[in-house]
Amino acid sequence: MKGLTDPSVRLVLLVVVLSALGYSLLQSLVMPVLPTLQAELGTTTTGVSWLMTAYLLAAAVATPVLGKLGDIHGKKGYLLVSLGALCAGSVVAALAPNLTIMIIGRGIQGLGGAVFPLCYGIMRDEFPPQRVAGSIGIVSALLGVGSGVGLLVAGPVVSTLGYHWLFWLPALVIAVVIVIAARVVPTGPRHGYGRVSWASAVLLSAWLVTLLLGISQGPTLGWTSPATVSLFAATAVFFLGWIRTELRSAHPLVSITMMRLPIVARTNLTALVFGAGMMAPNILLLQYVQLPVSSGGYGAGILGAGLFILPSAVGMLIAGALAGPLASRFGSRNLLVTAGILSVVGELLVLVWLREPAALSLSSAIVGAGTGLAFGSLSNLVIAAVPRDQTSVAAGMNTNIRVIGSAVGTSVIAAILTAGTVGAAGLPPVSAFVVGAAVITLLFVAATVAAATIPDPRRHVTTNHAIDTVREPSMAGS
């Protein structure tokens, strides 16, 4: 590790923050304006939904693969590749004359999903030890903050500048970040041993793609339709094939030994359950406040609805900034349990005072704070538990597991709201939102319980010597 000076750390942190913010903004920017894009591009609801699906699938595949390549060959180069994909995909989407080209652009953007794990690896390699946890907390929180800001600003951007600027503005910012990153981010250490098992990469990609396709398209195709059932069956086959390949490989893409470490395994389980609840509150809140007053909602427009989730973004950012110092004092595991309790309390406010605007704003802030603490704690727990040369791939898998949970959670909430639709307009009743809030509350309770089972890293000592078996066999003598 080079041991960067304080000014250098600040510059690299700026690059990391802007990179993370760019990716998370692009993840959510199109979500609130999908109806507008559907009308502008002359497509169907199912067709326009692929703008979200393509991004999600590409990110799921790229995150662990590019993370692994960064661990082996150096993280700076693959960070620039990821940022380049975000920028290029944004340009393609901005210039797209039709839906097909825009979907391709969104897929290219999704390849930038490796930004987060690569940034975590860079911070662990280059920052002074006392700065790592706090920096990871801030950057982790930006995944939620960026998504919230994206939901908030998408409407005004489209109404004032046109939908093309949803892509031009991020492209311009990311282009500047690429130039700065090329100059200030250190080349960093290269763990040049081993290689990527491409058979493992193909199988990992296959089960992630079929799983996420099944979850995202299930509501449209029908959960018991032959297509959906076939996707989930294929997921099981590919997953078992991936596990078998990884166990037999001399150079696994994702070390199963590493994934079975008690802290890593239980943190990933918690990430799955937390992920299911993390994005769902904002989706539920946005839907409810836009419900007409005559149907029991607030009749808010896109901008007004966005203001209800602004407290969530603020809460995430503040909590993320505090996650590092708090973790140093109380431990990341205890902080994760606290995050769960906060999230439960925040969602209970929705259950009790759904019709009170002040209560919904307070709930948004509390759940946002819980999410910010959780993002930082989950990342810190996994990163601290694995060898330095496995940082990006381990963080990448943790991110993917969280994404899978989020996909499941949003699909469940969508199913609850869709099942309860009434009247010619097909609007869900208020009772459907109450059921949705109850489900989210139960998810947060389950996540809190799961977090409490994670071994305390301060007592469960994991040293590089203790996890030498995680390293590639070719390192045994080095």
Adjacent-strand bridge partners of 112: none
Burial of 171 (0-12, 13-18, 19+ CB in 10 A): buried
For residue 112, give the 3-state DSSP assignment.
helix
Angle, alpha carbons 74-375-281 (nearest 5°): 135
Q: What was the pLDDT predicted at 457?
A: 73
Other CB atoms closer than 10 Å to residue 293's CB: what's the count? 9
DSSP per-residue codes, 212-256: HHHHHHHHHH-TTSHHHHHHHHHHHHHHHHHHHHHHH-SS-SS-H
Other CB atoms closer than 10 Å to residue 423's CB: what's the count? 9
Q: What was the pLDDT predicted at 404?
A: 86
Q: What was the pLDDT predicted at 232?
A: 95
C-alpha to C-alpha distance for 82 and 358, rounded to whole angstroms: 40
Tokens matching residue 268: 């990933």
Residue 378 contacts residue 275 (beta carbons within 8 Å): no
Residue 411 contacts residue 277 (beta carbons within 8 Å): no
For residue 277, give the 3-state DSSP assignment.
helix
Q: What was the pLDDT predicted at 250?
A: 79
Chain center to CA of 134: 19
Secondary structure (H, E, C), 338-400:
HHHHHHHHHHHHHHHCCCCHHHHHHHHHHHHHHHHHHHHHHHHHHHHHCCHHHHHHHHHHHHH
Residue 200 contacts residue 249 (beta carbons within 8 Å): yes
C-alpha to C-alpha distance for 311 and 334, rounded to whole angstroms: 24
Per-residue pLDDT of the chain (478 residues; tens, 9 = 90+): 445 556 678 888 889 888 988 888 888 788 778 878 888 888 887 788 888 888 888 888 888 888 888 888 888 999 999 999 999 999 999 999 999 999 999 999 999 988 988 988 888 888 888 788 778 877 877 777 777 788 778 888 888 898 899 999 999 999 999 999 999 898 876 655 567 778 888 998 899 889 988 888 887 788 899 999 999 999 999 999 999 998 888 788 888 888 889 999 999 999 999 988 888 888 888 888 888 888 788 888 767 777 888 888 888 888 877 887 888 788 889 999 999 999 999 999 988 888 888 888 899 999 999 998 998 889 889 988 888 878 888 888 888 888 888 888 888 888 888 776 655 556 788 888 889 999 999 999 999 999 999 987 766 544 443 443 334 333 333 3
pTM value is 0.81
Q: What was the pLDDT predicted at 89?
A: 96
Number of residues assigned to the chain: 478
Q: What was the pLDDT predicted at 166?
A: 92
Closest CA to 446 of 341, 376, 346: 341
Tokens matching residue 262: 């008690």
Q: What value does the CA radius of gyration of the chain take, rounded to a whole number of Å?
A: 21
Q: What was the pLDDT predicted at 74?
A: 84
Element (H, E) at 297: none
Residue 229 contacts residue 421 (beta carbons within 8 Å): no
**What does each C-alpha distance from 151 to 34, 349, 369 come to in angstroms?**
11, 22, 18
What is the distance between the terminal CA atoms of the chain, rounded to a whole angstrom?
18
C-alpha to C-alpha distance for 73 and 78, rounded to whole angstroms: 9
Element (H, E) at 323: helix 302-330
Residue 454 contacts residue 333 (beta carbons within 8 Å): yes
Exposure string for 307-335, b = 16+ CB within 10 A, e = fewer: ebbbbbbbbbbbbbbbbbebbeeebbbbb
